[in-house]
Amino acid sequence: MEYTQLGSAGLRVSRLCLGTMNFGPETNEPDSFAIMDRAHELGINFFDTANVYGWVLGEGVTEQIIGRWFAQGGGRREKTVIATKVYGGMGSWPNESKCSALNIRRACEGSLRRLQTDHIDIYQMHHIDRLTPWDEIWQAMEQLVREGKIIYAGSSNFAGWHIVQANEIAKDRHFYGLISEQCKYSLNSRLVELEVLPACKAYGLGVIPWSPLGGGMLGGALKKISEGRRASEEIQRRIERNRDKLEAYESLCSKLGEQPADVALAWLLANPVVTAPIIGPRTMEQFDGSLRALEIELSPETMQELDKIWPGPGGPAPEAWAW
């Protein structure tokens, strides 16, 4: 397994991050345990979750599964850099969502309890909270750091200017600020190249792409349908809208002798700003299939071909639209 620093921080993480969103709703507990054990066998030390995963209000189903896995011992917790999130609703009463100081405190305590750990390595804001001032947010995070309940703070789904604002205010408070940004980024979703990635590069944040396969579109969607696999109506509509691109993409992957999913991950890994794409397997087969991407080196010519098939916004702002 390859390891790298998370942005400019000293923390070292694996080049792939195990996403756990399917643990509970799609993957039962024994299979989830097996996937996490397999991740450690292969050297993956970076796991991502969220307090709302499991999608049962207030239950934190996925965190509970991970907590019971940690509780088995054997160095499971010690070997894992665990990242979870705050923002989503964990109840129907006021102050049980978003990023008020009250909810940050309450949500952190709940995640610690479910995860059966005394600290969270990376505590991520799942979305920007436009109604809570940054001084309040950072005061709450600083207190959690002082108490040893979190080590780092991260963001998810932030705009570029949110990252700048957050880190400048953190700097004024002599606080470390954000260590990472988890954003939607893939070959067919490249808007973050305009301002989010440049902001992350400038402030030394590690980028953790979610949905690196474009919701399954980049995982060989056309081939799977031709083999008789089912796809939801929404996926079918997206495939039809992008059929020409998908045909060109899967043809290129075939010429390379690689699976489309592996090429999509390798493309992300080739970006020096990207730390670790999140892979979210439902099965062990899917998990094992993701590892090939670490071995693929895409040539400059292949990168150019991919840009032709899946064009980005034209580079960073403002050059993307100005002279």
| pLDDT for residue 285 is more than 80 | yes
In the predicted model, what is the mean pLDDT of residues 280-299? 91
The CATH code for residues 3-215+259-299 is: 3.20.20.100
Residue from 55, 116, 51, 115 nearest 85 by CA? 51
CA distances from 161 to 36, 165, 310 (A): 35, 6, 26
Tokens 């643990």: give the residue: 23
| pLDDT for residue 225 is more than 90 | no
Q: What is the largest CA-CA distance in the chain?
A: 58
Predicted confidence at residue 237, as pLDDT, reads 87
Active-site residue 53, yes or no?
yes
pLDDT digits (tens, 9 = 90+) for 138-163: 999 999 999 999 999 999 999 999 99
Instruction: Provide CB contacts within 8 A for 214, sequence distance 6+.
Output: 186, 187, 188, 189, 264
CA 52 to CA 111: how far, in whole Å?
A: 10
Indicate whether this model's pTM tops 0.85. yes
Q: Please check whether residue 160 is in contact with residue 194, taking contact to mean a CB–CB distance below 8 angstroms.
A: yes
| Among 53, 123, 152, 185, the one annotated catalytic | 53
Domain ranges of the chain: 3-215+259-299
Degrees to nearest 5, angle at CA 159 with 126 and 123:
30
Q: Please check whether residue 80 is in contact with residue 47, taking contact to mean a CB–CB distance below 8 angstroms.
A: yes
Q: What is the full DSSP assignment across 175-203?
A: ---EEEEEEE-BTTB-GGGTTHHHHHHHH
pLDDT digits (tens, 9 = 90+) for 27-44: 999 999 999 999 999 999
